Amino acid sequence: MGVNMVEKVSSRICQLNNYNTISGVKNIVSNNAAESTNSINPTFTAAKTVQHPQTSRVQLRTELSGKEEKAKYTQVVSHLDRSGRKIVNNLLKTGVLLNDNSNDKSTVLDNLYKIITEPRAEGLDSKTMLKDTIATIAYPYLITQQFGDIPAEYKQRAIDMNNEGKTNLFDIRQGISDVNVVHSGTCVAASTEFKLAKQLPAEFARFANELSSPKMSVEKNIRLDNLADETLNAVWLLDAFEIPWDRKDFNKAKLIFAPDKNAILRAQIQTTNKDPYERTPLDVLMQSTFMQIGSQQSYNTITDKRHGKFNQNDKGLIEFEKTFTESVVFDKNILSVTYQTVDENARLIGYETDLSTMKKHLLTALNENENVIIGYTQTDSNNIIINGHEITLVGYKTGNDGKITFICNDTDDGIPNLIEYSEDYLLPKIHHAALPKHIVEDDLKIVPNWVEGIDVYKQMRGAA
């Protein structure tokens, strides 16, 4: 598939709305949020464990050790109600609270303690941030990309922030209208937030603490060879995405992630005026940060629009941008595998591989404790792609007939539960999937991320 076509389809996957009124979907009724994430439906395969996937890679600690940890625990639970204390206690029993699989080896408890004892950014509430962080780690299916309205008392401030520096009357009028976000384009960012909370709760808690602190940024140390095979190509990617970074040695770099400057207003609004099924202040900060990473620091949380050098559209992230975002956030060599073949008219004309190979890739990743972010499409009667969306595969179950049912999370369906898709329904609709390199390299010839980036950049410059 040509670069332009990949860009068009990838953009559609996050821009088109109301993709949830489709057949073949079954909601799973979940248990109480106090339960650990994968125990919601223990009959399905989710990384072969009923606990958080990352806990199978580290030694579980389920008891507090020493006066310092006990003091931190006491301080945290003292700010919670009975339900919150029950959730934290369950996180301790399941090994999540003391998990330290974070970039700086801090535990979930360490970061919860900082949230409640250290200052938060202007207009953010420590108790709200603590409660939201705990709830999200315990039950990531609460994460949503629904923006919510701007109350009257915040409206003029939002307009002024959005129109700062504008002098053209048309741009000013457009800026007034743009603050009313009806449909969100943050499905990639919300899916990334979900995956981080579910797979790396300590790292998620570290992000929550740092992004909601007065500095509103988080440092991340990564390996350059997780971005590209050659150091110079990794450097090109970091510079192209305009992320502040410093070289630590020949193969390590320190990156700085931060939400856009307008995110604080949305977070303040959701702190005081959150309605049911809308984003929490934590969702705002996380999703704004991931949109900034993917959009080359061009995102505007007030309008949910972006600019940037790789995408001609102003909503969402394209496939290449999503892959880069996931790679740096998880410090892992992630490939975006395109499965659908689409012509220049956005018509689905075939697949890059057979569906059984696609299924093998997805099941292998799930069995390796990976949650897989996929982009799926819908077509009209002429096979023209008309809709698309990003969701996350978290597990699967096998029926008596040997058929697979995929267990998925959707951040845009207004339902904080898992959903099921049969393999016959979902596999033909998958346009792309984010997968570790070793799973697919023997079956498909994948264009490296940096090569795709250069190609997209040249195409964009040629079209300008």
Q: For residue range 365-387, what is the model confidence (pLDDT) as tens digits?
A: 999 999 999 999 999 999 999 98
pLDDT of residue 309: 87
Higher pLDDT, 408 or 24: 408
- The DSSP output letter for 29 is P
Residue type, 332: K
Mean pLDDT of 27-40: 36
Those residues whose C-beta lies under 8 Å from the C-beta of residue 50, and which sit 6 or more positions away, are 36, 38, 39, 42
Task: Of 14-28, 222-236, 391-405, give the range with the top mean pLDDT.
Answer: 391-405
**For residue 33, pLDDT beyond 80:** no
Q: Is the pLDDT of residue 10 over 80?
A: no
Residue 139 pLDDT > 80, yes or no? yes
What's the whole-number average pLDDT of the chain? 87
Of the listed ranges 26-40, 206-220, 281-295, 325-339, the one predicted with least confidence: 26-40
Using DSSP, state whether 303 is helix, strand or coil.
coil
Q: What φ, ψ does residue 422 adopt, rounded to 5°?
A: -70, 150
420, pLDDT greater than 70: yes
In the predicted model, is pLDDT for residue 407 greater than 50? yes
Q: Considering the chain, what percentage of its residues have pLDDT values greater than 90? A: 73
For residues 106 and 116, is the Cβ–Cβ distance under 8 A? no
Look at residues 296, 295, 290 and name the one whose alpha carbon lies nearest to residue 258. Answer: 290
Check if the beta carbon of residue 273 is closer than 8 Å to that of residue 280: no
What 3-state DSSP class applies to 392?
A: strand
β-pair partners for 338 = 432
108-121, pLDDT tens digit by residue? 999 999 999 999 99
Least confident of 93-97, 195-199, 320-324: 320-324
Q: pLDDT value at position 53?
A: 39
Q: What is the pLDDT of residue 29?
A: 39
pLDDT band at 311 (very low <50, low <70, confident <90, very high): confident
Query: Do residues 245 and 281 lie in contact, with contact meaning Cβ atoms separated by under 8 Å?
Result: no
- For helices 108-117 and 126-138, the axis angle rounded to 10 degrees is 160
As a whole number of angstroms, the distance between CA 218 and CA 206 comes to 8
pLDDT of residue 396: 97
Residue type, 386: I
What are the pLDDT digits (tens) for 231-281?
988 999 999 999 999 998 889 999 999 999 999 999 999 999 999 999 999
Which tens digits make up the pLDDT trace of 429-456? 999 999 988 999 889 887 776 777 777 7
Residue 227 CB: number of other CB atoms within 10 A? 28
Per-residue pLDDT, 335:
86
Question: What letter would DSSP give residue 368?
Answer: T
Query: Could you tell me the two tokens for 393?
Result: 């595969």
- % of the chain at pLDDT higher than 70: 86
CA-CA distance, 210 to 98, in Å (whole number)?
Answer: 18
Cβ-contact 390, 75 below 8 angstroms:
no
